[in-house]
Amino acid sequence: MIDNDRHRTLVARVTLAVAGLVFIYGLIRLGLHAPLALNYPYDLDYGEGVVWEQMRLIISGSGYQALRPMPAFVFEYPPLYHLVTAATAGAFGLDPLLAGRLVSLVMALAAAVLIGVLTSAAIGKTQDRTIRAIAGLIAGLAFVTLPVVLNWSTLMRVDMLAYAMSIAGMLAAARSANRPSLAMLAGLLFTLALYTRQTCLPAPAAAFLVLLITRPRAAWLMLATSLITGLAALAALSIASDGQFLVHILAYNINRVIWDHAGMLMLVLSANIVTLALGVIGAVMAWRRLAPGGWRGLRGRMEHEDGLTATAIVLLALGLKTLMLPAILKSGASDNYLIDWFALIAVLCGMACVPLIRAALRQPACPSLALVLLIGVGLPVQMIDPPLRPDSGKIAQDRAALAPVVERIRASPRPVVSDEMVLILRGGQHVVWEPAIIAELGSAGIYDEAALAARVRRGEFGFFVTRGQRGSLLFDQRFNPIVADAMDAAYPRREQVGDLTLHLPAR
């Protein structure tokens, strides 16, 4: 603890000033990375081409059809993000890839704002408006400047839209105690989140359980709204897809366990250790606030003490999401599985900073030395990576190298198979084979890979574009041995283009 009042105020202000500079650096970094990413015409992530092709098929009325030998393509996600992206592209005349990335960026910024408001709501009126506003600002900035958010906020992927709606749903639920319309809004938002990404379950589950304790009427109203809208959407999608919608997003959405992903998880956690430490401090503070009187007394306190409902929802959602973290071990998973987890941790980071903010405003408070060091020293160190400016030279080289590949795809009389599926779409073809999911379905015996390998041996494809070769983790996840053997036999020539390998037929 810092004992002298004047020294405490000075240290608190300097620490918050350092945090402000760090967050400004993070925003500038996002501002420098985002334009290059938005205007890059090829894949930044494996799933972007998948989502683009899914969107094209959904809009054309061909989505979620029964799995066929060819095209070998599956819909892993519900359709809301695809519809929003298509509407954005149509309304503004944008390239579909740019529209998808723009939706993600806007939703990341919206999520940061919502995190700030949720933090303010969780702190409650026990603190004055200035303290709540500063804490909310810290929480929102702590989220949007994370490396994982920097990476995923400019991708044509479903995550940011889903998580923004989940956070909005938690906020509406927390404020629904005496406003039934907000309980209905929360139910609708949670439904929309689930129809964007079906794993968005911790937030609605936590909101329902907490409201069931504090405001049972609001809890059941929220649940009824979610069920009615969700079942109506399910009925419409099932009819439109001849009953295949649930088959795609549940039965076909399978993945093997890849233990190497545990290393990826540890790497991401260690890179964000300061944020995690601040989240732990905030979680302890939040738990101590909820704990007095036990569960029996909590209901009465929640009815009268502002902010407790939001605090309980955030803590319970974080606990439920933590239990789901092993899902990152799935073969198709990446650090996007941590985004909504970090969003909840960001709320707790903002709450952890309340003593520091109070001290800076010359209000009674005793911020711990650990809190000062984490923010004043740890946060700047953590922000060093990734670098401020993207590697524009590398991006230019990739654009130059991939443009001829697109033209070769365009000139191919036979379908091309590629890990980078945006290349296929840029080349005027459609995706006839998504490697990762077909490898999973083949391993599970759902898809006939022997027949697929026979097609490869007959040379029914123009050529293959892969990231890596046999023996590398990504290649072996996406092409099982029976298919890889056929590729070696029928497409023996190799050509390296940047990070990609072209598998070409014999001359």
Residue-wise pLDDT for 293-305, tens only, equals 666 667 777 777 7
Q: What percent of the chain stands above pLDDT 70? A: 98
Is residue 2's pLDDT more than 70? no
How far apart are the C-alpha atoms of 157 and 152, rounded to whole Å? 8
Confidence class of residue 3 from pLDDT cuts 50, 70 and 90?
A: low
Section 42-59 average pLDDT: 96
For range 13-31, the mean pLDDT: 97
Q: Look at 327 and 84; give whichever has higher pLDDT.
A: 84
Residue-wise pLDDT tens digits, 390-428: 988 889 999 999 999 999 999 999 999 999 999 999 999
Burial class (CB in 10 A: 0-12, 13-18, 19+), 265: middle
Q: Give CA–CA dist 227/234, Å, rounded.
A: 10
Question: What one-letter code names the amino acid at 147?
Answer: P
Structure tokens at 430: 């459609």
**pLDDT for residue 266 is more than 70:** yes
**Which contacts qualify for 84-91: CB closer than 8 Å, 24 or more apart?**
84/161, 85/51, 85/55, 85/156, 86/55, 86/58, 86/59
pLDDT average, residue stretch 5-9? 85
pLDDT tens readout for residues 192-239 = 999 999 999 999 999 999 999 888 999 999 999 999 999 999 999 999
- Measured CA distances, 127 to 13, 357, 360, 361 (Å): 18, 11, 14, 12
pLDDT in tens, 133-192: 999 999 999 999 999 999 999 999 999 999 999 999 999 999 997 788 999 999 999 999
Please report which confidence band the pLDDT of residue 354 belongs to, taking 50, 70 and 90 as the band edges.
very high
Mean pLDDT of the chain: 93
pLDDT, tens only, 444-503: 899 999 999 999 999 999 999 999 899 898 899 899 999 999 999 999 999 999 889 999
pLDDT category of residue 262 using cuts at 50, 70 and 90: confident
Tell me how many degrees the CA angle 56-62-64 measures, rounded to the nearest 5: 100
Provide mean pLDDT across the span 18-42.
96
pLDDT given at position 296? 64
| 487 within 8 A of 479, measured Cβ to Cβ | yes
